[in-house]
């Protein structure tokens, strides 16, 4: 089957669309998280290895940028129709990303958030494999994301256990 080429102007427009989607998810998560950092989250017992609050914004910004570029590179390869499964997986993991913020910070339920983050982690891993099969760079861009969410999962679990009364 002959691959159809996407015109360069549409390729760059596609990148903008993926950036907007990823940073919209970031904005939703941030809107839920930010008000709780100085209030509810500040009252929780956290492990000594908990990163300082200021580190989360830059790390997540870099990860959202990597996600957008990864999805864009998969889309550029085959378009939406040709990359339906990997791009659907991408959408699922992005929705689970936002859902975690809603549960952990919005609902203040670290135990339920831990269960959700396991599904979230699995969805990232599955998306990473699907992306890697399309274009190696897209898979590689998901490695730091999976590593950070692995760390965040352990942190979520630890905070939950330290604050269970």
CB 60, CB 106: distance < 8 Å: no
**Quick one: pLDDT at residue 3?**
54
The residue-averaged pLDDT of 71-97 equals 95
| Three-point CA angle 47, 156, 98, nearest 5° | 140
pLDDT tens, residue by residue, 152-164: 999 999 999 999 8
What contacts 156, CB < 8 A, 6 or more positions away?
Answer: 104, 110, 113, 114, 117
Question: Quick one: pLDDT band at residue 9, thresholds 50, 70, 90?
Answer: confident
């Amino acid at each position: 089957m002959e691959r159809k080429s996407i015109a360069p102007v549409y390729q760059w427009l596609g990148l903008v669309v993926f950036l907007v989607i990823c940073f919209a998810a970031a904005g939703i998560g941030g809107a839920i998280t930010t008000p709780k950092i100085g209030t509810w989250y500040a009252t929780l017992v956290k492990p000594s290895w908990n990163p300082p609050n200021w580190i989360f914004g830059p790390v997540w910004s870099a990860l959202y940028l990597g996600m957008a570029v990864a999805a864009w590179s998969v889309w550029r390869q085959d378009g939406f129709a040709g990359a339906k499964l990997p791009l659907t997986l991408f959408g699922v993991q992005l929705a689970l990303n936002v859902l975690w913020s809603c549960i952990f910070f919005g609902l203040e339920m670290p135990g339920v958030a831990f269960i959700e983050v396991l599904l979230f982690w699995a969805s990232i891993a599955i998306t990473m494999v699907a992306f890697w099969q399309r274009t190696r760079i897209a898979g590689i861009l998901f490695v730091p994301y999976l590593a950070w969410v692995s760390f965040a999962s352990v942190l979520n679990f630890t905070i939950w256990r330290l604050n269970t009364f």
